């Protein structure tokens, strides 16, 4: 993860916290600043847990470990920042091969959805206005979903 990525993720993280504060939402976000603070361990059965601090990464050798950019573990919310790159004059998402297939993103999306995380992707080519609007709508919809779920219980 480059310095530019960390800076962009931090801007999105600050905006999430700003919206959470202003709109009085019940979210608590953590950001990955390159030290795997948001790591999740997936067991393959639809469960995701935070890694145990008493274990090493080798202890999780038969499980998938993913590190979302921005995470609210308790509310199962993930925000990913995806950057683009140019290959042979074509703009494509980083990690995607020329045919548009990206097994890394496909795997990541599969694990997140299987564990019932709500995911928003912010792309580096989006203007501040566009990604801020996306994040705002996403967080409001997540809050409404939380309120609706608690009303049903």
Each residue's pLDDT tens digit, 65-87 = 999 999 999 999 999 998 876 54
**Total-model pTM:** 0.84
For residue 53, the SS3 value is coil
Whether the CB-CB separation of 38 and 71 falls below 8 Å is answered with: yes
Q: Is the pLDDT of residue 103 over 80?
A: no
Q: What is the DSSP letter of 52?
A: P
Residue 120 to residue 80: CA distance in whole angstroms: 6
Backbone phi and psi for residue 61, each to the nearest 5 degrees, phi listed first: -60, -25
Residue 9 to residue 80: CA distance in whole angstroms: 8
Task: Give the other-Cβ count within 10 Å of 42's Cβ.
Answer: 21
Whether the CB-CB separation of 65 and 75 falls below 8 Å is answered with: no
Q: Would you state the pLDDT for residue 96? A: 47
């Amino acid at each position: 993860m480059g310095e530019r990525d960390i800076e962009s993720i931090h801007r999105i993280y600050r905006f999430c916290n700003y919206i959470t504060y202003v709109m009085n939402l019940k979210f608590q976000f953590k950001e990955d600043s390159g030290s795997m603070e948001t790591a999740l361990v997936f067991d393959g059965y639809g469960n995701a847990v935070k890694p145990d601090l008493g274990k090493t990464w080798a202890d999780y050798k038969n499980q998938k470990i993913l590190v979302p950019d921005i995470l609210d573990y308790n509310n199962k919310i993930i925000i990913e920042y995806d950057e683009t790159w140019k290959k042979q004059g074509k703009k494509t998402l980083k990690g995607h091969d020329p045919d548009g297939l990206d097994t890394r993103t496909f795997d990541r999306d599969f694990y997140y959805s299987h564990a019932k995380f709500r995911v928003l992707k912010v792309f580096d080519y989006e203007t501040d206005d566009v990604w801020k609007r996306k994040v705002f709508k996403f967080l409001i919809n997540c809050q409404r979903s939380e309120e609706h779920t608690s009303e049903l219980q």
